[in-house]
Chain A
Amino acid sequence: MITLAHIRITPSETWLNGKVVSNSNINGIYREFIGDYPKFFKMDSLCKLGFIAAELILKGQTPELKENASIILFNRNGSLITDRNYQMTIADDHFFPSPALFVYTLANIVTGEIAIRHKIYGESSFYVLPHQDDEMINDVVNKAYLTSNPSFILTGWVDYDDDDNYVADIKLVTK
């Protein structure tokens, strides 16, 4: 596999292709680099993180290439950050289940948010692993080529523990 681009976002630093491009948090990065997608503010934290990572790393990719791209993401927490928030809306003494939160209680929604923004019609897949294991991630992504033929694959780790602990470590790769 050839790596076309790489982004790493943590609460303190955002690296794009080996250079620090921002020291802002997720909302700050949105304001600095994006700003034209109000739906961003409806997303949960995991989706916001994946969304801004995709936004920065996909800059310059043509619509034609994006249409046939795949998105294959991995993490440890799944959608637990929003699962916990949703759980708090269904307590016995305070039962007001929120559909706006419930839809984000699936980790693969982040792949859908990225696909919608960039009109990516290829594969979208989400896997949960015990910890960030780059060898395993590369292995799974390489094997995607055995049954599909994407123009490129947006792949990597996107995990949201809490507001002080999150990481997106995402690459664009091609065969």
Chain B
Amino acid sequence: MEGVMITKIADNIISPLGCTSEENFKAVLSGETELKKHEGTFGLPEPFCASLFNRDDINKQLDYELRSVGNLTFFEKLCVLSAKRAIEECNLSPRETNVIFILSTTKGNVEFLEHNLSDQRCYLAESAIKIAKYFGNNNSPLVVSNACISGVCAQITAIRELLSGKYRYAVVIGGDVLSKFIVSGFQSFKALSPEQCKPYDKDRIGLNLGEAVGTMIFKAGKPSNEGYWRYVACSIHNDANHISGPSRTGEGSFRVLSDILKNIGIDEIGFVNVHGTSTAYNDEMESIALHRANLDNVPINGLKGYYGHTLGAAGIIETILSMKAIENGVILPTKGFGTIGTSYNVNISNQVRKTDKSAFVKILSGFGGSNAGISYQKGGKA
């Protein structure tokens, strides 16, 4: 079964920059961001810089586009809207038994703990069940909760389900909404930058958080269309070093890259889309891992300067935007980057660059010492 071809057949991004993948790609290409300073938001005593949905606008849109949402929460409605748009794009029948739903989230509805410490909506599996049920799907959904790498791990989980032959289609949804809980935690960690983040820059001082949801739908079997995206390789490794700090040798990330490069040549890769949170340690660690994997000269880019760190959505939306970039023959600029500030002089730029390559690698790292990566290649004729 390992020879089965897995392709991506539809996708969607809903973020403060737009409600389709195309809108988001265009916004990023023209350098837009909604990262700005928020004071008093979520009842937090200290201001913070983040990319947040305008609650009034997005709620109007959710009410307009979704019917019979019943008791869905804001987070769940966003996931449903994103999945609905992707499902409509590929005319999938989501209630079929050969479809599985996979949810990538770090904290789901955690905001409800504020009023009730035993609120049932905080159980992540309950959200996944409600989302799958909205589409009439009765298979047990899976929730991947692997901190910041969840979005790539959810894709890997989908690929395994399809390779095994158990399911034919996988709907992978990744999302998180911000709250007092999440923002105060990152503030207490002194991980946040008070201004727009500067990935890989010498003056980087921390990350920004952001809100987004994204959906990718995968299919097992030969693609029916031209210009499909084919899964190539994936890997997950732990640093075995520290629960909240990345490895000083980039061990896990290096092992991820090494695994992937066994399946695709460096000369086929247009770029590596990095995690690039803009914390001192993450970006330094990644530069070491890239260097160890002989990727110093391959272009890299990071998208946190447009969205901030979108937690459970990050791996999904950054993969989708990387696909769009290759389709348009470009490497998206790393917004916020100016002068290299990592030990190794990796190939990063704040300008739009051209590429004629057909593949890319997406990597992520996160709390718990976890690292993940995945590679896709654009196929020719079906």
Contact = CB atoms under 8 A, between A and B. Distances in A.
Interface of A: 71, 76-78, 80, 83-84, 86-88, 90, 92, 95, 97-99, 102-103, 105-109, 111-113, 115-116, 118-130, 133, 136, 139-140, 142-144, 146-148
A129 B140 CA distance: 8
A125 to B, nearest CB: 6
Given A80-B122, A111-B238, A123-B238, A97 B243 contact: no
A130 B140 contact: yes
A102 B185 contact: yes
Interface of B: 1-2, 43, 45, 106-107, 110, 113-114, 117, 122-126, 128-129, 140, 142-147, 153, 156-157, 159-161, 163-164, 166, 180-181, 184-190, 233-244, 251-252, 255, 367-370
Determine the main DSSP class of B at the interface with A.
mixed
A126 B146 contact: yes
B145 A78 contact: yes
Contacts, number: 164
Contact of A95 (B45, B107, B156): B45
B111 to A, nearest CB: 10
Most buried by B among A98, A122, A128, A139: A128
Interface centre among B106, B236, B238, B370 (most CB of A within 10 A): B238
A111 B255 contact: no
A112 B117 contact: no
Contacts of B156: 147
26 contacts: A71-B238, A80-B123, A83-B122, A84-B117, A87-B117, A90-B180, A92-B43, A95-B45, A99-B190, A105-B107, A105-B185, A108-B145, A109-B368, A115-B239, A120-B240, A121-B238, A124-B369, A126-B144, A127-B145, A136-B140, A142-B164, A143-B166, A146-B159, A146-B160, A147-B163, A147-B235
Contact of B238 (A102, A120, A136): A120
A143 to B, nearest CB: 4
